[in-house]
Amino acid sequence: MTRPISLLYFLPLLLLLLLSLYYHVLADSHFEGFEAEEEDDVVEETIDPNAFKLPDLPLTLSESPPISTPTPDPKEPDPKPTKPSPPPSTTNFEFWDEDEFEGLPSHQPHIESVVITESATPDATVQTPDPKPTTVSKKKQSYLVEIVCVSFLIMFVINYFTGKRENENLALSWAAKFATKDSIFEKNFSLLGVGEGDDSPLLLKEGQNVFKFYASGRRYCQGLLATMELKSRHDLLSRIYNMVVPCKDEISIEVYMNDDAMDHVVFALARKKMAKAMQKELRDLQRFAGSVVQPPNGRKWVAEELAVVSESKEVAGDLISEAVLEQVFGEKSFEKYGKGFISMHVSDQLPGTQKKMLLFKFALPDANNMADMTRLVALVPYYIDLVGRYKLSSQARSKTEAARAKAAQEAYKELQGARQEALQKKKAERKKMLEEAEAKLSAEAIRKKEEKERARQMKKAMPKVKMTRGH
């Protein structure tokens, strides 16, 4: 996709470039022309009273340089007023030697300077120092851009390396806490790391702010993939942007369950706002899980900030066990340990090839406080076992099976509809092609016919002419 796009960019860009270059050349020549014309005008005016040879001068550019010896002169009036301003104004009247400046357009600058000097000397002094400061400030301004940009670039490069190291440290501290020897993942999975063999790298770096950790070899599940999406600390621009719109370091853990190890379970747990959003956006929740489950009476339930979305009350009640409430999701423990919890999603009906998955999303703490999320990470193996062992009651199962059958039927219908649509499209296309070919053929046939007719008429006409000639 990007290749054609870049190619597409390229052509118009080249065109634009050529155009711009052409434009510049034109502009430059214009400027040159301007100057030349001005000079010519000057010459014109000066010679005007003397001679009528004028028209020759402006036409030939090559002649202007020798005549343009007075060209330095028109510039002199500019510096001149600056020079005479400090000395008394009396010199001002004297220094204009009419003979010396014969070839000058002596109208405007002279008059101005004279007027200024005549009217008031302070005025002249006020006016004359003006040009110098403006040029100085212009220079300063022009350097300001460069200074700012270069320093920003340098800061960008420095920040790139420091931010990169910061991100790496964070990811490594997570891996060191949860994936090294005698850690949670090591105790639960037989294969850790993205490579093969014992000393395979634990983390896979993707870009500068995405790290992946893979584990496999556990009952009930095929594997686990943890993706850490850290802040773009390496990127100064997005760092500045994040000052305005703050974001968190997140880790999302996907557990690919075995097909035979997971019953019909659709369940999600998140903070209230998030849960509602998930219920609206995620297709499986939308279809199978009706709405937010009300907390049951006479039982401990999750903390108030949290909301449960589930297919049935039974599933919700079974998946939120006493142990979980006590450890993380209960009123008291959530305040303490649940800070980093974002969402949790268990489903056997996810779109895509892998349907049965557990998805966890946590916020990462600082590199130094990695222990804060120990309990959250411990949720993962706990839920793998809980869901893997879980069996629905026969009553609930019949309901869920009906729902799934219905969904499957709908999906099948949709698929068929899509297939039919595709077929129809193909048919229509073929028809169009045929018609076009026919039209082409017919057009050609008509043309041939016309040609023949013309030829025949010509034939008819020719001999007649000959005949008349012959007579």
Partner 1 sequence: MSSHNNNSTSANDPRQPSAAKPFVAPMVSPQDLPVDYSGFIAVILGVAGVMFRYKLCSWLALIFCAQSLSNMRNMENDLKQISMASMFAIMGLVTNYLGPARPGSQS
Give CA–CA dist 103/46, Å, rounded. 6
Burial (0-12, 13-18, 19+ Cβ within 10 Å), 44: middle
> Please, what is the angle between helix 236-244 and helix 131-178, to 10°?
90
Considering the complex, what minimum distance in angstroms separates the CB of residue 153 from partner 1? 6
Cα–chain center distance at 193: 32
| 93 versus 152: smaller Cβ distance to partner 1 | 152
Considering the complex, what minimum distance in angstroms separates the CB of residue 10 from partner 1? 7
Considering the complex, what minimum distance in angstroms separates the CB of residue 148 from partner 1? 8
Considering the complex, what minimum distance in angstroms separates the CB of residue 239 from partner 1? 11
| 11 versus 465: smaller Cβ distance to partner 1 | 11
User: Contact at 8 Å (CB) between 54 and 47?
Assistant: yes
Between CA 416 and CA 423, with CA 422 as vertex, the angle to 5 degrees is 90
Query: In which region does residue 393 sit, left (phi positive, over 0), alpha (psi from -120 to 50) or beta (all else)?
Result: beta
| 132 versus 449: smaller Cβ distance to partner 1 | 132
| 42 versus 203: smaller Cβ distance to partner 1 | 203
Considering the complex, what minimum distance in angstroms separates the CB of residue 270 from partner 1? 19
Give CA–CA dist 299/322, Å, rounded. 10
Binding stretches for partner 1 (CB under 8 A): 1-3, 6, 9-10, 13, 16-17, 20, 23-24, 28, 31, 35, 135, 142, 145-146, 149, 152-153, 156-157, 160, 184, 187-191, 193-196, 204, 206-208, 214, 216-219, 222-223, 225, 232, 234-238, 323, 327-328, 374-375, 378-379, 381-382, 385
| 26 versus 237: smaller Cβ distance to partner 1 | 237
Considering the complex, what minimum distance in angstroms separates the CB of residue 334 from partner 1? 13
Q: Please, what is the end-to-end C-alpha distance for the chain in angstroms?
A: 77
Q: Which helix (H) or strand (E) holds 252?
A: strand 250-257
Considering the complex, what minimum distance in angstroms separates the CB of residue 2 from partner 1? 5
User: Contact at 8 Å (CB) between 44 and 54?
Assistant: yes
CB atoms within 10 A of CB 247: 13
| 350 versus 396: smaller Cβ distance to partner 1 | 350
Between CA 240 and CA 250, with CA 244 as vertex, the angle to 5 degrees is 85
| 99 versus 146: smaller Cβ distance to partner 1 | 146
Considering the complex, what minimum distance in angstroms separates the CB of residue 328 from partner 1? 7
Considering the complex, what minimum distance in angstroms separates the CB of residue 355 from partner 1? 16
| 391 versus 469: smaller Cβ distance to partner 1 | 391
| 97 versus 196: smaller Cβ distance to partner 1 | 196
DSSP string, 269-318: EEEHHHHHHHHHH-HHHHHH--SEEPPPTTS----TTEEEEES-HHHHHH
Radius of gyration of the chain (CA): 43
Number of helices (H) and strands (E), helices first, in the chain? 18, 10
